[in-house]
Amino acid sequence: MLKLKGIKKSFEGKTVLDGIDLEVKRGEVVAIIGPSGTGKSTLLRCINLLEMPDEGTVTIGELEVTAPQIKRKEQYDLRGQTSMVFQQYNLFANKTALENITEPLTRVKHLKKEEARRQGREILKVVGLTEKEKEYPSRMSGGQQQRVGIGRALATHPKVMLLDEPTSSLDPELVGEVLDVVRTLASKHITMLITTHEMDFARSVADRVLFLADGRIQEEGTPKQIFDFPKTERLKIFLSHYHS
């Protein structure tokens, strides 16, 4: 479903991604862990070309683009296959839960209002917020807001969802509801890449975990392999900073 080959990215002469190769299967959930500033967000942003890689190939489904000579249309098409969920929800404060979800349907997909609302209600069901349809973000909990954010990302039927620290603004007791939603999406075969600093979350959500450091994937494996049987010294030291 998603394939990266030789993705490189530097900022002001400083190499952040130094040749990332990755293949993710349809419906697979991949968690990306690693030290702060190591390029986890940059990697997600290079996949939807929010950030233009210096080099490398991104393939999503049938669509393959090679940086840096990517045409605007290719960029647009590729971005249409993905959607991103942010740490800070990024909801419209003056729109209800339902309106936040239907917004990309009317604006990007040009659906009629009634059809958008019908699909929006389906999505509210998936993220478990049917009863919050008319609620505004300021009157919802962080977990509920993040579920609206995930719902909005889901509305355009992306092949790949990119979630950048989706739980790090949440109180610990609200992480579980986001986890449940991610699990529901995985069961619907949505491919997901999730960056996180929460090792418990990574362990419970992911089929596969990548440890990113010094511009490369240093180690990868199942949550059990990564968290219980880390191989590299680099990963062992990283994990020793967490209590999980």
Ligand X SMILES: Nc1ncnc2c1ncn2[C@@H]1O[C@H](COP(=O)(O)OP(=O)(O)OP(=O)(O)O)[C@@H](O)[C@H]1O
**Interface residue list for Mg ion (CB under 5 A):** 40-41
Please choose, out of 37-45, 95-103, 104-112, 155-163, the segment that lies near ligand X by the rule CB under 6 A.
Answer: 37-45
Rounded to an integer, what distance in angstroms lies between the CA atom of residue 117 and that of residue 98? Answer: 7
DSSP secondary structure, 45-69, as one string:
HHHTTSS--SEEEEEETTEEEEESS
Q: Among 177, 186, 194, which residue's Cα sits nearest to residue 30? A: 194
167 binds ligand X (CB under 6 A): no
Residue located via tokens 């040749």: 19
Instruction: Name which of 140 and 192 has its Cβ closer to ligand X.
Output: 192
Whether the CB-CB separation of 30 and 223 falls below 8 Å is answered with: no
Partner in contact with 16, chosen from ligand X, Mg ion, none, beta carbon below 5 to 8 Å by kind: ligand X
Partner in contact with 13, chosen from ligand X, Mg ion, none, beta carbon below 5 to 8 Å by kind: none
Please choose, out of 39-47, 121-129, 135-143, 148-156, the segment that lies near ligand X by the rule CB under 6 A.
Answer: 39-47
41 binds ligand X (CB under 6 A): yes
36 binds ligand X (CB under 6 A): yes
Instruction: Name which of 81 and 87 has its Cβ closer to ligand X.
Output: 87
Residues 53, 191, 40, 211: is their CA dihedral positive or negative?
Answer: negative
Instruction: Report the amino acid identity of residue 160.
Output: V
132 binds ligand X (CB under 6 A): no
